[in-house]
Amino acid sequence: MPVTVEITLPPHKMTAPDIRAALVRSLGRDVSHWRLRKRSLDARKRPVYRLRIEVFDQAPPAEPDVTATFRDVHNAPAVHIIGAGPAGYFAALKALELGLRPIVLERGLPVRERRRSLRQIQQFGIVDPDSNYCFGEGGAGTYSDGKLYTRAHKRGNIEHILRLLVAHGAPPDILVDAHPHIGSNKLPRVVRAIRKTIEQYGGQVRFQSKLTDLILRDNRVETLIINGQEEIPTRAVVLATGHSARDVYAMLQRHGVYQEFKPFALGVRVEHPQPLIDEMQYRQPRGQYLPAASYRLTCQVDGRGVFSFCMCPGGLIVPAATAPGEIVVNGMSLSRRDSPFANSGFVTEVRAADLPVDPEQDALAGVLFQQQVERAAFAAGDGSQKAPAQRLTDFVEGRLSPDLPPASYIPGLLSRRVDELLPDFITRHIRQALLDLRKRLPAFYTREANVVAVESRTSAPVRILRHRDSYRHIQMDNLYPCGEGAGYAGGIVSAALDGQNVMTAVAQRLLASGKR
Ligand SMILES: Cc1cc2nc3c(=O)[nH]c(=O)nc-3n(C[C@H](O)[C@H](O)[C@H](O)COP(=O)(O)OP(=O)(O)OC[C@H]3O[C@@H](n4cnc5c(N)ncnc54)[C@H](O)[C@@H]3O)c2cc1C
């Protein structure tokens, strides 16, 4: 049995010999075999790393091989998965484990080719509605920061998800870091390796295959219509199309498939110089041993939450629109997180009562609201993907910025009254939250920060309701709403967990009925 030891080391002592020396000091005996189990940075006072380490008397046992349970499914019953995001791909991996043949239908391009579409958006402002920062192999999580922490601990085995990622090429550090992240330079390789696994065991992944319609009979999905023409009969459909597939929500609505409004959040992306955030969090310059500092902020303004969202230290703001004529921003970073900027969403809750259309009358009222704000941001611009922005202090004080500080956003920023462009209640809440932060974190409140519009794709504004235990849609017998788009996940890991849970439910049913 290993002995578990907790040690604390300053950042410059995070080398193998220093860790070993600390273990020897702690145990009072020689140490030859050890394995790091947890690593977290504690910056509450002088920054230190806290490590949890297992010490062994002999070589530690091999780590579990999470791919050993995959089976050959070439002749197994098929299950259709719509969407190759984390929910869809982890559902497919689960299918390999459980003896089902996953057929993944994805509207976008394979992960490498997808880069061309991203370049088109960044350089020429051309948004391909099927291949962009949200759509394409790997889903919205691929060209992101790749943060892998989640609060979804009750939903399944997070370590298993992380081990699957490592088995497909993610850095093993994600197994021990308290706040693991992969980075968008490494994620595409991992996504591609997952596809290879799916194909190797007998599953299929088809690109440029957009679900455009369904043929329904007796509360079942009988046939999938792909690209408006191909008909694919199906016995079970996992619908994992993400929070931006507005055409899918609209198509379900046309068929009377039950969905309901789900509260979400909307606001801006705030970007500071990274050294300023480092000083704010570490109370000293970062130096060479500490990572780019991050933050997480929450405020309550008039009983409504205002919070930072998807913070990307050392990252970039990216154009995340999924259709021409809209401006949407989000954040990503590379694995080294070494850009000179720190960006984060800064958003507030949007509730049913805030919407111009009653969600009781129209379940897509939240989608319409998002769309209106995104189009207003576009209309305020010059017809390109340049985003409206304001210095943070000018946003709060309500004036146009005569100029803007440097920014990471490649298409470029335009000085605009972002405070006037956003719905009034959003501006009021964000403004008040920033004023509150001025007292708590004076460094954050600076004219060197940009406020960029609009951060609108925080989570799904719709829930495609399903039964709690069977994961089936409440009305459609063989439709399995899954992942973020269905309103049951938020983030890469929770979407992956949901994919696995949904596929387990599909397998219980399909394999019990025994047909091909
Ligand atoms: C820029 C950016 C950065 C992010 N950073 C992080 C982060 O650091 N950490 C984190 O946890 N989360 C992050 N997120 C959120 C995260 O990406 C999502 O929570 C997650 O990807 C949701 O997974 P999903 O599989 O449910 O949906 P998605 O990832 O949205 O995947 C849905 C897939 O379905 C496909 N699709 C849509 N419609 C159809 C159709 N009709 N037919 C066929 N296919 C279709 C899409 O092309 C897409 O590939 C980020 C998101 C963005 C946009």
Angle in degrees, CA 10, 12, 16, rounded to 5: 95
CA-based angle 423:428:429, to the nearest 5? 105
Which one, of 455, 456, 343, lies nearest residue 407 by Cα? 343
Is 415:400 a contact under the CB 8 Å cutoff?
Answer: yes
Could you tell me how many residues make up the chain?
516
- Which helix (H) or strand (E) is 454 found in, with range? strand 450-455
Return the HEC string of 289-319: CCCCCCCCCEEEECCEEEEEEEEECCEEEEE
User: Which pLDDT score is estimated for 184?
Assistant: 86
Q: How far does the centroid of ligand 1 lie from the alpha carbon of residue 84, in Å?
A: 9
In which residue ranges of the chain is pLDDT below 70? 514-516
What stretches of 227-340 adopt beta strand conformation (E)? 230-233, 237-239, 260-261, 264-273, 298-301, 304-312, 315-319, 329-333
Cα gap 310→330, rounded to integer Å: 8
Cα angle: 415, vertex 421, 425; to 5 degrees: 135
Whole-number pLDDT of residue 416 = 98
Per-residue model confidence (pLDDT) at position 50 = 97
State residue 144's pLDDT score. Answer: 78
Ligand 1 neighbour 299 (Cβ under 6 A)? no
Alpha-helical segments (H) within 319-391: 365-379
Residue 51 identity: L
Instruction: Please tell me the predicted confidence (pLDDT) of residue 85.
Output: 98
User: CA 279, 453, 147: angle at the middle one, nearest 5?
Assistant: 55
* pLDDT tens column, 307-361: 999 999 999 999 999 999 999 999 999 988 999 999 999 999 999 999 999 999 9
Rounded to a whole number, what is the largest CA-CA distance in the chain?
Answer: 72
Q: Is-contact 267 345, C-beta < 8 A?
A: yes
H or E stretch covering 387: strand 387-391
Q: What is the 140 CA–ligand 1 centroid distance (Å)? A: 3
Burial-class residue 12 by CB neighbours within 10 Å (0-12, 13-18, 19+).
exposed
CB 141 less than 6 A from any atom of ligand 1: yes
CA angle 294, 176, 29 (to 5 degrees): 120
Check if 140 has its Cβ closer than 6 Å to any atom of ligand 1.
Answer: yes
Q: Write the pLDDT tens digit of every residue in 231-256.
A: 999 999 999 999 999 999 999 999 99
Sequence-separated (6 or more) residues with CB below 8 Å from residue 259: 249, 252, 253, 363, 364, 462, 463, 464, 465
What pLDDT sits at residue 296?
93
Q: Angle 285-289-290 (CA atoms, 0-180°, nearest 5)? A: 60
Tokens 């235990």 sit on residue? 469
Q: Residue whose CA is closest, atom 35 of ligand 1? A: 83
3-state class (DSSP) for residue 126? coil
Domains of the chain, earliest start first: 3-56 (3.30.1660), 78-259+460-513 (3.50.50.60), 263-455 (no CATH)
Q: How many CB atoms lie within 10 A of CB 484?
A: 28
- State the burial class of residue 496 (Cβ atoms within 10 Å of its Cβ: 0-12, 13-18, 19+): buried
Neighbours of 434 (CB within 10 A): 23
Residue 466 DSSP class? B
What number of CA atoms fall less than 13 Å from residue 516's CA on the CB side?
4
The contacts of residue 254 (CB under 8 Å, 6+ apart) are none
CB of 167 closer than 6 angstroms to any ligand 1 atom: no
Mutate to test the pocket of ligand 1, among 127, 130, 142, 144 (most ligand atoms within 8 A of CB): 144
Probe target for ligand 1 pocket from 137, 145, 318, 466, with the most ligand atoms within 8 Å of CB: 145
Residue 491 DSSP symbol: S
Which pLDDT value is given to residue 515?
52
Closest CA to 511 of 222, 200, 235: 235
Judge if pTM exceeds 0.85.
Answer: yes
Closest CA to 315 of 289, 288, 279, 344: 344
Pocket flag, ligand 1, residue 374 (CB < 6 Å): no
Q: What is the pLDDT of residue 156?
A: 80
| pLDDT at residue 143 in the model | 87
473 in Cβ contact with 480 (< 8 Å): yes
Q: Is the CB of 161 under 6 A from ligand 1?
A: no
CB-based contact 469:491 (threshold 8 Å): no
Residue 111: helix, strand or coil by DSSP? helix
Report d(CA 344, CA 347) in Å as an integer.
9
